[in-house]
Amino acid sequence: MGKLNGVSLFANVGVAEAYMSELGIDIKIANEIDEERARFYKEIYSDTEMIIGDITDDKVRDEIVKKSIQNQVDFLIATPPCQGMSEAGLRLKYDPRNQLITYAIDVIKRVKPKFVLLENVPKQLTTKIKYENDIILIPEFIKRELGEFYKFNRETLVMAKDHGVPQLRERSIFLLVRNDLPYTWEFPEKQPEITLREAIGHLPSLDPKLREGLDFTLEKFPDFERKKTLGLEVSKWHYPPTHSWRQVEWMLHTPSGRPAIYNEKYYPKKKDGTPVKAHHNHYRRLKWDMPSRTITQNNGVMSSLACVHPGREFINESGEILYSDPRVLSIYELLIVMSLPLDWSIPDWASETLIRKSIGEGIPPKLVKNIMLELLKQF
């Protein structure tokens, strides 16, 4: 078997596809509902035909099917939005986003690709959806609709940290091989974990840019400009994130691996001094000696789940013990933690919010690469 032609559903900005061409997989067709993300995708993967639109729209889905058949697509990857099931979301019962898998299955049944990769959060395994007159678990639905035509992998839960990615990120992934083919597709053997110290420990320290203005930033962080220059020498994406002084001060007093809510004095509080009600993973620094916790779409906000740089202990002029890098990870550090290529062609027009959100919602491409290699080596 030669080169694979592929179609990507819920394509986002193409995070999962970062190493596809390197593997000899040619993504011919992609579908994304968000115009800005579709534009982002198209600038990185100019040879892919992007179909912009809602997959629940029959006309859009018909076009995906038609173009996939025309391009002799034999591989399909689908990564439906996980917010309806994610631990970080509201998890509404019968969230409409959870139903999107049904439209992906419709495309699969009509295109009949040889290989399929379906990815989502682990909660997918215990999430029920409404389909026709039934209420059914998503895995049962997938197997009911496709079991006649495809062989499934035995284990469906996988941790990115076990496959060359310096991030925990557990995922539920179904690997399907069409029944008429002599291949089996399982997850590859586990690799040693990569800690944050190994992954980003060599990068220059950055002080945050304070929302209160540059003068105030320089007052609090006299080395701000020097550190910023050193960071930009590494990459234009290793620049200081912006935060308010109140939050920065809390994190200055928070050691690696700990949440600020347990600080005796400098803990999250409202302007009137009332303690902020927060989960123990909010305002939390990451740990140096383990992989990063799962990167979320809100990775630019310190109050989000465990997204603050681990930091390093230092003593200030007053003899006070503080911790450096009271900030979220830079975009460059996110590229590393998500296992994206460091020369990934992020469009200059893309806002920081779009970049962070798109990366946080993606599947680590090195995990995808290693899973695909487990299949490709059989050819």
For 206, counting Cβ atoms within 10 Å of its Cβ (0-12 exposed, 13-18 middle, 19+ buried), the class is buried
Topology adopted by domain 4-191+363-376: Rossmann fold (3.40.50)
Per-residue pLDDT at 341:
97
Q: CA-to-CA distance for 309 and 285, rounded, in angstroms?
A: 6
Per-residue pLDDT at 2:
64
Identify whether the C-beta of residue 343 lies closer than 8 Å to the C-beta of residue 336.
no
Q: CA-to-CA distance for 266 and 269, rounded, in angstroms?
A: 8
- Which DSSP string do the residues of 239-292 spell out, in sequence order? ---EE-HHHHHHHHT--TT-BGGG-SSS--B-TTSPBPP--TTBTBBPPTTSPB
Given 13, 38, 55, 82, the catalytic residue:
82
Q: What is the pLDDT along the chain (379 residues), one digit of tens a residue?
A: 568 999 999 999 999 999 999 999 999 999 999 999 999 999 999 999 999 999 999 999 999 999 999 999 999 999 998 544 445 444 455 555 578 999 999 999 999 999 999 999 888 888 888 877 788 899 899 999 999 999 999 999 999 999 999 999 999 999 999 999 999 999 999 999 999 999 999 999 999 999 999 999 999 999 999 999 999 999 999 999 999 999 999 999 999 999 999 999 999 998 888 888 888 889 999 999 999 999 999 999 999 988 999 999 999 988 999 999 999 999 999 999 999 999 999 999 999 999 999 999 999 999 999 999 999 999 8
Identify whether the C-beta of residue 195 lies closer than 8 Å to the C-beta of residue 290.
yes
Q: Catalytic residue at 82?
A: yes
Per-residue pLDDT at 94:
56
The SS3 call for residue 161 is: helix
pTM (two decimals): 0.92
Per-residue pLDDT at 84:
46
Residues of the chain with CATH 3.40.50.150: 4-191+363-376
* 278 CA to centre of own chain: 23
**Of the candidates 345, 371, 237, the residue with the CA atom closest to the CA atom of residue 18:** 345
Per-residue pLDDT at 85:
42
